[in-house]
Chains A and B, each alone.
Chain A
Amino acid sequence: MLALIILFLTALVTLFVGFAKKPLLTLSLSVLGLLGTAAALICQWYHPSDFLSSYEGVNMDGFAILFSLVAIIFTILIIFSGFEQFKSRLDHTADYIGLLIFSLFGAIVMVSFQDMFMFFLGLEILSIPIYVMAGARKDDPLSSESSLKYFITGAFATGILLFGIAWLYGATGTFKIYEIQQFFMEAEQISSLAYVGLLFILSAFLFKIGAAPFHFWSPDVYDGAPAPVTGFMAAVVKLGAFGAFIKLFTIAFSELYDFWMPALTFLAILTMFVGNLSAIRQVRFKRLLAYSSIAHVGYSLITMVVLTNNSALNLWYYLFSYGFATIALITVQMIVNDREDRIEAFKGLGRANPFVGFVAVVALLALAGVPPLMGFFGKFLIFADAISQNPALIAVALLNSGIGIFYYLRTVIVILQKPGVDNEIEQSEFKTTPLQLIVLGICVLAMLFGGGLLMVH
């Protein structure tokens, strides 16, 4: 609770400090606030306390703290790597950073909610700043298009979600997730209203995480949005949405597992195939990332299909590893800074700037799931947990990983190639800033040694 207050104050202070037009001051204050929030969360971990005991809408339990801490780390990394872009619009630097922090606030509410009010508010606080941020490059029609597309489809999904919550309320008469669980346990016969409500809520979630067949917005939006925002959507928004997803479905709908499990199994398989097969044909880097993120959503859904005691932790670890790799790649994309965002523009990156090239290769291999990188352990945990219950699903997932390796390795080859003399693409300079180098350093360390986290848990 204290963490939420600190975070909100940080966002406000960031907005007001923006008037001074000193980007570095804004940056340091906001990062300081984010670190303060993280510290408050860690305090909460060791000394759990209720700030507001009369209302049980928010509960900062271990699950919420773990997800929130990762979201905070990702937000700091994205603010660092996007700082160069934010700084170029001096009037708006603070607005950009402030909106990202507001969105992070929503993500934290979404992983710590206990009833539908807070859940809905969290979802909206998470989404609305991102609708705006996707259109932050106002002189670029693609950016405006992506913002509008995301807003309209997102608002529609929100409507569906609210409709579903209303049906669920009609069936159970309560908004609190533990009371809903209780109701389903004790009810002799579950009203058909609940099933319809569940389906509506499920489709809204599938939209938010970008699973097939609700994924059509994501390539366009990822492509058009400014690079830092794309990274934020892939890392933090997905983390928040998945956190709420697994929380709602393992607590409130745990009794209806037999009803939603087959649907989710089918959707997970569909999502993996759609993501991987479409990614093969991409020539633009951010679109490639978008489709690869769809494929990774498919792998993550396996944790929900096969529920065990470790599901939430596996999902957390998977999203953790995925976020680092994506943020590293987005940062590399900003360094390459090709106007048309072609994968071809990465040619010669490995020779022109060995460190950046190395990080890009490591991140791509981590996404592909090559040991001993963090991405491998993420996949391994999920697959190992699920294989005894649903071997067929894991076979499909392994097949998909194989397809994935093809397009990741193809991009790796492009990076390692000699800068050709004969091609028409003029070589960009690959300018880096110290902050971006820090981000890349943190990401590559995490990806190389993140497997060590497994020893702890």
Chain B
Amino acid sequence: MSSIEIIALALGALTIASALMVVLSMHPVRSVLYLILTFFLISANYVLLNAQFLAIVNIVVYAGAIMVLFLFVLMLLNLSKDNEPRASNIMKLAASLAAGALVIVLVAALKDAIYLPVVENVQGNSQGLVENLGQLLFTKYVLPFETSSVLFIAAMVGAVLLSKKEKQIID
């Protein structure tokens, strides 16, 4: 086993473990902290795959912006055990059955999976850098790139529409 494979295995195990801890830990703030850890570990996986720019963006957007929002919301909500909605036992049973079936399907699929041969990239280590990504985005993929701006405008208009205070509500 080469050193890269060992690192990849260790990183993968750590990522899965911390992702599990997000769901398993009882305290919401602790969950969020584990989530941040998960994001950092995912970024490390990206670096391992030669996607350096994606790794940085992942940290900036997810660990930076979105997690701060999460923490804010948690602190504003004042969560405690008493006001947490209780799920009935049937619900719990159904949820675990569904999730268990999903896990079985996924594991079975991964067991027999036929993987595509790995393509050596031409540009070597610099493949995932901003320069190459920008080249692609502004030439080959310019249409999806521009179309995503339509999505952002629509989302922005929607956000303003929803968050603007109405006169009727004030009085």
Interface residues on B, range: 20 to 34
State which of B106, B115, B166 has its C-beta within 8 Å of the C-beta of A196.
Answer: B106
Given contacts A139-B168, A139-B169, contact A117 B144 (CB under 8 A): yes
A361 in contact (CB, < 8 A): no
A135-164 interface bits toward B, Cβ cutoff 8 Å, 1 = contact, 0 = none: 110110000000100000000000000000
A129 touches B158 (CB 8 A): yes
Task: Answer yes or no: A118 CB below 8 A from chain B CBs.
Answer: yes
Q: A93: shortest Cβ distance to chain B, in Å?
A: 11
Q: How far is it, in angstroms, between the C-alpha of A153 and the C-alpha of B164 when the chains are bound? A: 24
- Contact B158–A118 (Cβ < 8 Å): no
**B150–A102 touching, CB < 8 Å:** yes
Minimum CB–CB distance for A4 against chain B, Å? 8
Q: Which residues of B contact A189 (CB under 8 A)?
A: 114
- Assembled-state Cα–Cα distance A264/B77 (Å): 42
Q: Least Cβ distance of A136 to chain B in Å? A: 7
**Interface residue stretch chosen among B41-49, B50-58, B83-91, B135-143:** B135-143
Contact A54 B151 (CB under 8 A): no
Is there contact, CB below 8 Å, between B168 and A195?
A: no
Within the complex, what minimum Cβ distance (angstroms) separates B171 from chain A? 12
The chain B residue sitting closest to A129, CB to CB, is: B154
Interface membership of A124, Cβ < 8 A? yes
Encode A38-61 as 1/0 by CB contact (under 8 A) with B: 000000000000001011011000
In the complex, whether A98 has a CB less than 8 A from a CB of chain B is yes
Q: With an 8 A cutoff between CB atoms, is B61 at the interface? A: no
How long is the Cα–Cα vector from A170 to B117 in the complex, in angstroms?
11
Complex contact A125–B143 (CB within 8 A)? no
- Residues of B close to A128: CB separation below 8 A: 151, 154-155, 158
List chain B residues, Cβ under 8 A from A122.
147
A55, A105, A139: the one contacting B166 at CB < 8 Å is: A139
Query: How far does the alpha carbon of A54 sit from the alpha carbon of B153 in the complex, in Å?
Result: 25
User: B164 to chain A: which residues have CB within 8 Å?
Assistant: 91
* B117 nearest CB across to chain A (Å): 9
From the candidates B105, B153, B162, name the one contacting A102 in the complex (CB within 8 A).
B153
Against B, the Cβ 8 Å flags (1 = close, 0 = not) of A1-34 are 0000000100110010000000000000000000
The reply to whether B142 and A136 contact each other, CB–CB distance below 8 Å, is no
B94 to chain A, nearest CB (A): 12
- Cα A122 to Cα B144 in complex, Å, equals 10
Q: A109 near B: Cβ within 8 Å?
A: yes
Which positions 102-116 of chain B face chain A at CB distance < 8 Å?
105-106, 108-116
Given contacts A189-B114, A193-B113, contact A55 B154 (CB under 8 A): no
Whether the Cβ atoms of B157 and A125 lie closer than 8 Å is no
A92 at the interface (CB under 8 A from B): yes
Contacts of B125 in A (CB 8 A): none
The one of B142, B143, B159 that contacts A118, using a Cβ cutoff of 8 Å:
B143
Answer yes or no: A417 CB below 8 A from chain B CBs.
no
| Contact mask for chain A residues 381-392; partner B; CB cutoff 8 A; 1 contact, 0 none | 000000000000
Instruction: Report the Cα distance A99→B155, complex, angstroms.
Output: 9
Q: A15 touching B148 by the CB < 8 A rule?
A: no
CB of B161 closer than 8 Å to a CB of A: yes
Q: Give the 4 A-B residue pairs with the shortest CB-CB distance, closest first.
A: A132-B158, A102-B154, A191-B114, A117-B144
Interface residues of A (CB under 8 A from B): 8, 11-12, 15, 52, 54-55, 57-58, 91-92, 95, 98-99, 102-103, 105-106, 109, 117-118, 121-122, 124-125, 128-129, 131-133, 135-136, 138-139, 147, 167, 170-173, 189, 191-193, 195-196, 199
